[in-house]
Amino acid sequence: MKNFRQIASLLAPAILVAGCFLIPAAKAADNVDSVQISQLLTEAKVEAAELKHDSAQMEAFTGSKLHWESYARRVEMIKEHVNNTGKLLARMKEVESTGAPWQQHAIQQIELFLKEMADNTTATIEHLNNNRDKIHFQAFRDYVKENYELASDLESLVRDFANYGEAKAKAERLSDKRVIPD
């Protein structure tokens, strides 16, 4: 028993010193960007750009005398982009814990904006379905305008996060290539 205590008293400082080196390395690994999340952000950036484009076109329709079916087709395209972005978000949420803190924050922010976009898109569809003969009235224009503004904000948010990730990865690759003089 005495030998065990002597060995333990000799090993304890060594274990503590080793722990001091391992813990920062583990924390540094936690801050590593997830390649999968970065790829999903890039995919979401493309989808959000299409969503913004379709929302802009629908808003442009409000100044015309198009039939309600034209609006219905466009809002279905918007709904499809919202759903596709939602699928990408669900995949991000599955691996969120593997991401760097900025990626986790990005996922949370995108989720908030996408939920609002989905709610407004649903309200726009319901309004259109219940008021087909009133698509040229201000109430419908307000729904469409709000949809465009939300789509623009979502696109900007996703683009900024995706671009940040790309720039950060590039900067890290460049710093790894940097030659340190003797």
Burial of 12 (0-12, 13-18, 19+ CB in 10 A): exposed
Nearest to 82 by CA among 58, 61, 98: 58
Q: How far apart are CA 120 and CA 97, in angstroms?
A: 29
Nearest to 131 by CA among 182, 81, 42, 68: 68
Residue 163 lies in a domain: yes
| Distance (Å, whole) CA 108 – CA 103 | 9
Beta strands in the chain (DSSP E): none
State if pTM tops 0.85. Answer: no
Count how many domains the chain has.
1
Does a structural domain hold residue 41?
Answer: yes
Q: Tell me, what CATH number does 66's domain have? A: 1.20.120.230
Instruction: State how far Cα 80 lies from the chain centre.
Output: 17
Residuewise pLDDT in 10s, the chain (182 residues): 444 344 434 443 444 334 444 434 334 445 789 999 999 999 999 999 999 999 999 999 888 888 888 888 999 999 999 999 999 999 999 999 999 999 999 999 999 999 999 999 999 999 989 988 888 888 889 999 999 999 999 999 999 999 999 999 898 888 877 656 65
The answer to whether residue 25 is domain-embedded is no
28 occurs within a structural domain = no
